[in-house]
Structure 1
Amino acid sequence: MFKKLFGAGKPEPLQTRLDPRFTDGSLSEFFIKVSAAKIDGVMGDWGDLKPAGTVIAVTAFGDLFVTDADGNVAMLDTIEGKLNPVAESPEQLLALLEDEQKQDELLLAGFVLGARSDGKTLGEGECYDFTPPPILGGPMTPENFEVTDFVVKMSIAGQIFVQVKDLPPGTKIGEIKITD
């Protein structure tokens, strides 16, 4: 399971077909609409961490839900820089997300609702982002995230993860290089 998402053999190109059940349904406040061109444009910054398959949803924090050819769903976690299997189908993912604990775990729902009640609403092409990111020691607290451009967040996150992915946990990071 999930072999196609994790790159066994020749990886499929990444495609985008946002599923309206996420962006227009009862969970829409936790998802954003992003064009395929914007997603495709930043995924080169993720190097070999770039998933294969089809993007079906983008969370308010810019995480991507991606399906493989068999319909299995994984989440590209932009906080940890990992592709994690989450469901065997989009329908199963929707069922999982009916649970508030799963909403917090996968969508950071508590942060999203708190941000919106504090007036941090998202405009077109925007998502939330921790600054500095947790991978560089930033805390995961409401005071440590802001509204930012999706493309900028994804580009910077991808570049950071490509540079730190092989470091052992706890390694002091002296320098990160970010390019345009």
Structure 2
Amino acid sequence: MFKGLFGRRTPPSQTTPLSEAVRGLYPSLVLDIPTPDVTHALSAWGWLDPPSTGVALVGPFGDMFFETPDGVVTLDMMEGALRVVAQDREAFVQAIGDNEYRDMLLGDVWVQAAARRGLSLDPRECFDWTLPPVLGGQCSVETVTKTLFVVKADLAAQLHQQVKDLPPGAPITGVTLDD
């Protein structure tokens, strides 16, 4: 009866040593995304072969970070790429102490700008751009918006998969998205 009145409970997200270390320093830069949402998001990126170690951190723009034997790896939603960003957890936490590196990896400057505009994230949401940069959208204070994490992850995966083999600067005239 109460589920019908108050909705379904959001499944818990997993906390990891990396997410807790970052949350201790920069709480607004760590999202608590329910495990089923993260699993769904990762399935959309299967073509990129993300690490199988499990997501250790979800950043405010939906970027997913993994702790692997090769180091901390990010699945960058804007670039549609995987890359090693630190040798290990300790190096990652130390590196994001640098404002520029923190802005580059976690978008801190954009999170602060969004807060000044009155944007705050509800559960299961992340920040995004009104038009994805891969389609020519601009990153500016005015174009920061918010969306459901699973929607952003799914759309970004589809877009990047469709444009990955195009030469730089190629015009994009049509985009198709699946449900």
Q: Same fold (TM over 0.5)?
A: yes
Give the TM-score normalised by the residue count of structure 1.
0.85
Question: Could you give the per-residue CA deviations for residues 125-165 of structure 1, whole angstroms, max 9, x where no partner exists?
Answer: 01000121000000011111201110111010011011111
Give the TM-score normalised by the residue count of structure 2.
0.86
Q: Is the 8 A contact 1:17 1:54 kept in 2?
A: no
CA distance in 1, matches of 2:58, 2:43: 17
CA distance in 2, matches of 1:144, 1:130: 5
User: Alignment length, in residue pairs?
Assistant: 163
Paired residue type of 2:111: V
Q: Is the 8 A contact 1:122 1:147 kept in 2?
A: yes
Deviation at 1:54, TM superposition (A): 2.3
Q: Is the 8 A contact 2:114 2:120 kept in 1?
A: yes
**Aligned residue number for residue 47 of structure 1:** 46
Q: Percent identity?
A: 34
Where in structure 2 are there 5+ consecutive unaligned residues? 1-13
**Aligned residue number for residue 161 of structure 2:** 162
Question: Could you give the per-residue CA deviations for residues 27-67 of structure 1, whole angstroms, max 9, x where no partner exists?
Answer: 11112111221111122222321411221111100001112
Where in structure 1 are there 5+ consecutive unaligned residues? 1-15
**Aligned residue number for residue 64 of structure 2:** 64
Deviation at 1:17, TM superposition (A): 5.5
Higher normalized helix content (fraction of residues)? 2
Paired residue type of 1:164: V
Higher relative contact order (CA 8 A, sep 6+): 1
CA RMSD in angstroms, aligned pairs only: 1.4
CA distance in 1, matches of 2:160, 2:15: 25
